[in-house]
């Protein structure tokens, strides 16, 4: 029914143009050619203005091509016998222009399928067509080397007839490529395109039989050309205006479907990765927990051996026993850190407003009590409140401050500063020391598990503390990084979720009065 209803305007158009042939064949020819020229220019205008929206450049290529096809058809109409524009050329000229136009049209429909999956430089295509068509017209009008196509009294030349057959073969190949690449087209558009090219083939066959430019075969050929261009109009112009998402944005819909498929696959991989991480964390926790039993046995029996057999072991035996005890202690510390690292990713978060001043003061007091020398000068700026899990944030601060105290203790006057500043709408907290520092080229290794930037003989540790800090900060939606120079100390920065902090400020009416002193940039 759809095709029957759409055939009614076409039949009315054909009948109207046919009636003009009774007045004069020249009028009939001019109207039929004008119709095809208008359609060709319309195709160009639509796709040219929509070129930035097209991922499938088949239509863009066809649009540029049909601008030049329409230009050749316009010259063909002016050159037709009786128009009085090119009187010195006779009936051969319009026939040559016809063949030239059909070659350009057929080859363009064939080559256009290349740009179903390749991008087209529209400016280069525009220039290439201009040069090619310009040379073609020069071969007809100036150099006069284009083969003769029509001889008065004799009719069509073999070149013209064979050219029509060659053009038919090219158009058949274009249909075959369209069918092979049908997935790039809406079904309705594909049917109309194939119908248009098929009608063009019938049109070419009709133009192989006429003896006079005013003959009935010529008239049938022009009727078929009208039908062909009308179908092309239905496929491209009307469809692109009435059903834009079916044509001009079809590629966008396909891309959206492909993106959705990729998104689903990524989600599936993310879920699998999450499950794998949970299994690894559980495995690490189990292994670390199970290692405690044999380690306790090693510690216990080494002490018993020392107590019971100490005098008889000798100097070397005692040294070796001390090595066992020392490494057992290190193993215990490593297990504790591994358990802490595992818990850092598994522990439930209890998010609330966090008084950072009280938290830092508690951490500093605890660490000073555990460090007998107590000579580190610790300066704490007024800190604005944070939003997160108090216990986890306390562990972050404890690790960073203890780390700073450890690596600055060999300085004559060890100093440590805790502060904060605002950057890009986020609150940044920092812990700065004047310790040994490190080379920034090893920065990427700093937050990895078991990575140490200094020797174990100089400073104790397992290389897990900074990995725990990064995991805890990441769970709060923040990030952690460091800046340092060897021998000049190091500064560790971390953020908590800035969005959460701003929501907290709105909810609790927290003003930045607490942090007015630290509104500047990072510490120098």
Query: 423-452 pLDDT, tens per residue?
Result: 888 899 999 999 888 888 777 778 766 555
Phi, psi of 387 (to 5 degrees): -130, 115
pLDDT at position 518, please? 42
d(CA 417, CA 518): 13
Q: Per mean pLDDT, which range of 161-165, 243-247, 439-443, 517-521 is the poorest?
A: 517-521
Q: Is the pLDDT of residue 364 over 60?
A: yes
Residue 283 and residue 237 in one domain:
no
Residues with Cβ within 8 Å of residue 475, at least 6 apart in sequence: 344, 345, 349, 389, 392
d(CA 356, CA 386): 7
Cβ proximity of 429 and 493 under 8 Å: yes
- Judged by phi (left if over 0) then psi (alpha if -120 to 50, else beta), residue 374 lies in left
pLDDT, average across residues 468-490: 88
Q: Is the pLDDT of residue 511 over 70?
A: no
Q: Is the pLDDT of residue 289 over 90?
A: no
Residue 353 and residue 406 in one domain:
yes
Q: Per mean pLDDT, which range of 16-20, 48-52, 188-192, 478-482 is the poorest?
A: 48-52
Strand 480-484 and strand 490-495: the pairing is antiparallel
pLDDT at position 49, please? 84
The CATH code of the domain that includes 280 is 1.10.287
Residue 166 and residue 265 in one domain:
no
In which band, very low, low, confident or very high, does the pLDDT at 411 lie, cut at 50, 70 and 90? confident
pLDDT: is 119 or 369 the higher one?
Answer: 119
pLDDT at position 349, please? 78
d(CA 353, CA 84): 92
pLDDT at position 323, please? 76
Residue 148 and residue 271 in one domain:
no
Residues with Cβ within 8 Å of residue 150, at least 6 apart in sequence: 91, 92, 95, 96, 156, 157, 160, 213
pLDDT, average across residues 181-188: 85
Residues with Cβ within 8 Å of residue 248, at least 6 apart in sequence: 50, 53, 54, 59, 240
Residue 369 and residue 417 in one domain:
yes
CA dist 497 to 95, 172, 252, 474, 475, Å?
Answer: 76, 63, 35, 9, 9
Cβ proximity of 150 and 92 under 8 Å: yes
- Judged by phi (left if over 0) then psi (alpha if -120 to 50, else beta), residue 179 lies in alpha
Phi, psi of 41 (to 5 degrees): -70, -35
Residue 152 and residue 271 in one domain:
no
Distance of CA 295 to the CA centre of its chain: 52
Query: 218-244 pLDDT, tens per residue?
Result: 788 889 998 999 888 888 776 665 555
Residue 452 and residue 508 in one domain:
yes
Q: Which DSSP helix (H) or strand (E) runs through 389?
A: none
Number of residues assigned to the chain: 524
d(CA 334, CA 340): 10
Q: Is the pLDDT of residue 92 over 50?
A: yes
Phi, psi of 209 (to 5 degrees): -115, -10
Burial of 171 (0-12, 13-18, 19+ CB in 10 A): buried
d(CA 483, CA 493): 8
Residue 192 and residue 94 in one domain:
yes
Last residue of a domain, one of 346, 372, 394: 346
Residue 101 and residue 149 in one domain:
yes
Question: What does DSSP assign to residue 373?
Answer: S
Q: How crowded is residue 267: how many other Cβ atoms within 10 Å of its Cβ? A: 10
Number of structural domains found in the chain: 3
pLDDT at position 524, please? 37
pLDDT at position 185, please? 82
pLDDT, average across residues 279-294: 68
Last residue of a domain, one of 226, 248, 270: 248
Domain around 516: 349-524
Residue 336 and residue 205 in one domain:
no
Residue 40 and residue 189 in one domain:
yes
Q: Per mean pLDDT, which range of 124-133, 321-330, 502-511 is the poorest?
A: 502-511
The CATH code of the domain that includes 176 is 1.20.1070
Instruction: Please choose, from the candidates 473, 468, 517, 462, the residue with its C-alpha nearest in 3D space to the C-alpha of residue 495.
Output: 473
- Provide the b/e sequence for 299-330 (b: ≥16 CB within 10 Å): beebeeebeeeeeeeeeeeeeebeeebeebee
Last residue of a domain, one of 303, 320, 346: 346
Query: 303-343 pLDDT, tens per residue?
Result: 787 777 767 777 777 777 777 777 777 666 666 666 666 66
% helix, strand, coil for the chain, step of 5:
70, 10, 25
Q: Which DSSP helix (H) or strand (E) runs through 483?
A: strand 480-484
Q: Is the pLDDT of residue 296 over 70?
A: yes
Phi, psi of 443 (to 5 degrees): -55, -40
Residue 473 and residue 333 in one domain:
no
């Amino acid at each position: 029914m759809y095709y029957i209803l759409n055939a009614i305007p076409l039949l009315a158009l054909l009948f109207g143009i046919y009636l003009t042939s009774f007045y004069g064949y020249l009028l009939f020819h001019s109207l039929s050619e004008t119709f095809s020229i208008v359609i060709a220019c319309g195709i160009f205008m639509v796709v040219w203005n929509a070129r930035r929206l097209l991922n499938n450049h088949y239509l863009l290529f066809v649009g540029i091509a049909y601008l030049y096809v329409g230009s050749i058809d316009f010259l063909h109409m002016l050159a037709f016998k009786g128009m009085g524009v090119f009187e010195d050329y006779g009936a051969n000229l319009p026939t040559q222009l016809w063949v030239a136009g059909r070659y350009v049209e057929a080859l363009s429909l064939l080559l256009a399928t290349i740009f179903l999956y390749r991008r087209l430089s529209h400016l280069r295509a525009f220039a290439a067509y201009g040069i090619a068509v310009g040379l073609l017209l020069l071969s007809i009008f100036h150099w006069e080397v284009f083969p003769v196509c029509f001889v008065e009294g004799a009719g069509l030349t073999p070149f013209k007839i064979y050219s029509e057959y060659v053009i038919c073969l090219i158009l058949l190949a274009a249909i075959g490529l369209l069918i092979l690449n049908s997935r790039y087209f809406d079904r309705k558009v594909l049917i109309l395109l194939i119908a248009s090219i098929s009608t063009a083939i019938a049109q070419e066959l009709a133009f192989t039989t006429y003896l006079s430019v005013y003959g009935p075969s010529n008239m049938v050929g022009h009727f078929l050309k009208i039908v062909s261009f009308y179908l092309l109009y239905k496929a491209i112009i009307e469809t692109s205006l009435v059903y834009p998402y079916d044509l001009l944005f079809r590629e966008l819909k396909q891309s959206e479907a492909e993106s959705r498929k990729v998104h689903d696959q990524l989600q599936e991989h993310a879920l699998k990765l999450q499950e794998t991480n949970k299994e690894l964390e559980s495995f690490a926790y189990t292994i670390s927990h199970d290692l405690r039993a044999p380690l306790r046995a090693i510690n216990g029996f080494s002490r018993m051996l020392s107590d019971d057999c100490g005098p008889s072991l000798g100097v070397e035996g005692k040294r070796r026993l001390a090595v066992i005890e020392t490494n057992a202690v290190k193993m215990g510390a490593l297990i504790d850190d591994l358990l802490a690292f595992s818990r850092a990713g598994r522990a439930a978060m209890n998010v609330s407003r966090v008084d950072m001043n009280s938290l830092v003061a508690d951490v500093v007091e605890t660490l000073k009590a555990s460090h007998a020398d107590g000579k580190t000068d610790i300066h704490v700026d007024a800190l604005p409140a944070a939003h997160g899990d108090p216990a986890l944030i306390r562990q972050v601060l404890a690790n960073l401050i203890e780390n700073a105290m450890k690596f600055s203790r060999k300085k004559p006057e060890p100093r440590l500063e805790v502060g904060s500043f605002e950057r890009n709408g986020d609150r940044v907290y920092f812990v700065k020391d004047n310790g040994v520092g490190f080379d920034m080229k090893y920065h990427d290794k700093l937050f990895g598990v078991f990575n140490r930037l200094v020797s174990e003989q100089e400073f104790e540790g397992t290389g897990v503390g900074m990995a725990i800090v990064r995991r805890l900060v990441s769970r709060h939606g923040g990030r952690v990084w460091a800046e340092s120079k060897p021998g000049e100390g190091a500064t560790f920065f971390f953020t908590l979720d800035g969005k959460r902090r701003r929501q907290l400020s709105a909810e609790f009416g927290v003003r930045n009065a607490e942090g007015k002193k630290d509104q500047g940039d990072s510490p120098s």
